[in-house]
Amino acid sequence: MKTKYIFTGIILLLLIPVIIFANKIIMKNCDCKTENGYEIIGFGGKPIEVTHKIEKEGYKCISESVLWNPNPKKMTNEQLESLRNEIPEWASKNIQNFSDADKVLLISQLKNVSNKDFSEQLKYKFSYFGKPASQEIPIYEFQLNETSVFCPNYSDEYEMYGKKDKFGFEFYPESEKPNYPNILTKDDVANESGYK
């Protein structure tokens, strides 16, 4: 009788990891699942179809409004230079107790690091489709002391402005191209992407 309980206990212990693993597979991308594929919520609540990205390109659904891209678009050298110039000023305004001496030191550190090394310090977090042109916007995080500095890459979004269709119509006129900020706070990211 005692052997029967021990045997049952062992079987249950072996089944627990199997159940957990099966649940992960079943629940994978669940937030984005629809009856016809996968969608996430984009700008203004607009549904963005992402079935191909998830099934063929290896994207993962993090929430109903953001994805994880296995190959996010990297920042260009021009974008990296812009961030180098903006981060110290942003830190002065947004990080409590960030002194003028801290700012001078940060400027020096950013000036002396190569674009490759600086790019590696920007850790990809996720992507969202939150602007009118519905292009993917990867969000990178730069860790400064204990503060997260979020750096969106709007390059695909910007490329949509001024493009003409086969009839010569600009759906997103160049004159309406917005000037999005290069650096966001955690709250800004939550507001932009819908992901907290």
- What is the amino acid identity at position 97? N
Q: Kindly list the domain boundaries of the chain, sorted by start residue.
A: 2-65
Task: Read off the pLDDT of residues 12-33 as tens digits, 9 standing for 90 and up.
Answer: 555 555 444 433 433 345 778 8
Per-residue pLDDT of 89-116, as tens digits, reads: 999 999 989 999 999 999 999 999 999 9
Residues 97-113: b if buried by 16+ CB within 10 A, e if exposed: ebeeebbeebbeebeee
Rounded CA gap, 42 and 192, in Å? 10
